[in-house]
Structure 1
Amino acid sequence: MSRHPEVKWAQRADKVFITVQLSDSKDANVNLEPEGVFSFSGTAGTGNTHYELKLNLYDKVIVEESKINVGVRSIFCILEKAEKVWWKKLLRGDGKAPHYVKVDWDKWVDEDEDKGAGDLDLGGMDFSNFGGMGGMGDMMGGMGGMGGMDEFEDSDDEGQEATKPADKAEGDAKLDEHGAGTSEKKEAEAST
C-alpha cells in the first residue's frame, strides 16, 4: 500500500512552487506533463515505505522551463506556468484540496506584491530541468542536496544594541576616519 507525502505549494504570476516533504527519499521519480499533471513516486523510511501522488494542476505548464531539486528533506520543484496569470487554486476541479496538500506560507506572496521569483531565496539549490528528459526517473540518481544553509547559522551580533550618533552628546558624535564614533570605539574595545 502506498502513502501520500505532504505537499506544500506557493505561486507567482509566472511560476508554481511545489515541495514534496519526504526525508531521505529513495528512487524518487517525478513526472510533469504539459497539460498540468504532476506525479511523484518514491520510497522513504526504514521500512522503505512507498509514497506516490498525482496532482491535476489548475492549468498548463511549460515542462522544458520547469526545474527540480532533490534534497535530503524534500523535493523542490519550480513549475513554469504556460500563461502568466495567478491561479485561483493549485488543483483543477471543484472539490477541496486533499489533506496532504498545504500552502507554503514561507514562499507565499500575495498577487499585489508579486515581483517574480527574483525575491525568493532558493539557498543555492542545484536545479536541473524537467525538459528533454521524458519523465524524471532517469535523472533522480545523482542529484545534489540542498546547499546554502550557512545563512541560517546563529549570528555573533545577537544581543548587541545598535546606537545612533544622533542619540549621543555632541562631542561623542564625531566620527574617525573609519566612520566609527568615539563612544562606539570604546564600546567595541570593551566588548573584546
Structure 2
Amino acid sequence: MNNQDNSVDTQKAAKYNKWVVVLSVVIPIAVAILFGVKIPNVEPLTFLPPIYATTNAFTAFVLVLAFNAIKNGKVKRHESLMKLAIALSVVFLVLYVAYHMTSDSTKFGGEGVIKYVYYFILITHIIMSIIVIPFVLITYVRAITNDIERHRKIARITFPLWLYVAITGVVVYILISPYYIF
C-alpha cells in the first residue's frame, strides 16, 4: 500500500476521492431500491440470514485482529486483514440484498422492553451502516495513497463505527431469528 518514497500520492487520492463520493451515495440508494424489489417466481433465499450474520461476526473478529496487528507494528498483516474486512462487508451486502429481493421481511415478535431494545439497536445499526461507508472508503484511500497520518486520524473514528455495525448486525439477527419463517 505504501509508496517507496513515503510521499502522499495526491493525484491518486484525488481520483479515488471521486469514487468515495460516488460509492457513498450510490450504495445506500441502490440497497434501498433493491430492498423494495422482489424477484418473482424465485425460491426465497431463507437460508441466508444466519450466513450473513456470521459474515458480520467474522468482520468484527477481523477488525479486532487488524487493530491488534497495527498496534503491534504488523503493517502488512493489518493491511491484509483490512482488505479481508472490506471483502467480508461486500459479501454481507450482496447476501443481505439477495435475501431481501427474494424473501419477505421478518417482523420482530418480541414485546415489552426487548422490543424497544431491538428497535434501538436496529435503527442505530441501519444509520451507522450508511454513515460508515464513506469512512471506510476514505480510510482505505488514505492508506493506499500513503497518507498515513490522516489515515490514522480517520481510522480512530472508522474502527469503532465499523465494529459497531458488524456487532449490532449479529445482535439484530440473534434477536429476530426466533421469528423467521422457514
**TM-score of the aligned structures, taking structure 1 as reference length:** 0.21
**TM-score of the aligned structures, taking structure 2 as reference length:** 0.22
**Which of the pair is proportionally richer in helix?**
2
